[in-house]
Amino acid sequence: MENTLSPQEEMLKNLTEKSSVKQKTYDATLEVFTQLKTTLQTMSEEVNKALPDGVDSRVRLEYRDRGKFEAEIKVSGDMLIFSMHSNIFQFDRDHLIWKTSYVQQNPSNSYCGIISIYNFLSDSFKYNRLDDLGYLIGRIFINRDRLFFVEGKRQIGFRYKSFGEKAITSDDLKTIVETAVLYAIEFDLLVPPYDMVKEATVEQMNLKIENARLQTGKRLGFQFKSDDVLNATKGLRDGLRDK
């Protein structure tokens, strides 16, 4: 005879099992994010010390802690923002993560915290251009045991197949940060198509004069193509695989 749990029993079961897994995942993700902040600060200091004498001070890396769940690093004309989500997520049933033996053995292993990496133009913040665009260039997924994988654009590769093989380390975080910085530097601001910007309203001109707020983004007028990913010369996937 099938054993049916009462609502109270079901609630207690979820609290002791699912909720516990989520809390442990949150703690692990926050721990990794704190470690990531240290990596960002250390890398900034090391790179700045290694810059040649007389180099333009504007190319120096600038790290700033933006609070419990955010940190930023300014790289010349770019701003990379690392943001930890305060909630824990489950993957939809079509996600390839469900095909890994690690998750198939225990579905609770799939609960992950997320650290997102966004690329903005530093001038967007400097001049308070609220309509400017930023791009999500990578996401780090971390479970309760600090096991991880990374997905993203171009060099920041998709590595779900390795999920369950190893816990994230300081070296992994350094590789992720270095790859993100290189991507931002190489990801140039393109001229938008003429037809897209051939007209402007009086309001847009006034706003531009006051705050330089005409919408700007690195790929304004362009879309990411699959070739952006396929033609990458060096991916994070390769970087971590070699470790």
Q: Which residue has the higher pLDDT, 210 or 207?
A: 207
The pLDDT mean for the chain works out to 80
The per-residue pLDDT for 76 is 85
Cα 157 to Cα 73: distance, rounded to the nearest angstrom:
21
The per-residue pLDDT for 237 is 38
Q: What is the DSSP letter of 146?
A: S
Mean pLDDT of 64-86: 94
Confidence of residue 197 (pLDDT cuts 50, 70, 90): low
* pTM of structure: 0.77
How would you list the strands of the sheet with 61-65, edge to edge?
61-65, 70-75, 78-84, 113-121, 135-142, 148-152
232 has a pLDDT exceeding 60: no
218 has a pLDDT exceeding 60: no
Q: Which residue has the higher pLDDT, 58 or 196?
A: 58
158 has a pLDDT exceeding 60: no
The per-residue pLDDT for 242 is 42
Confidence of residue 55 (pLDDT cuts 50, 70, 90): confident
Phi, psi of 124 (to 5 degrees): -60, -35
- Which residue, 94, 85, 87, is CA-closest to 118? 85
Confidence of residue 190 (pLDDT cuts 50, 70, 90): low
The per-residue pLDDT for 216 is 59
The per-residue pLDDT for 108 is 94
Q: Are 147 and 163 in contact (CB under 8 A)?
A: yes
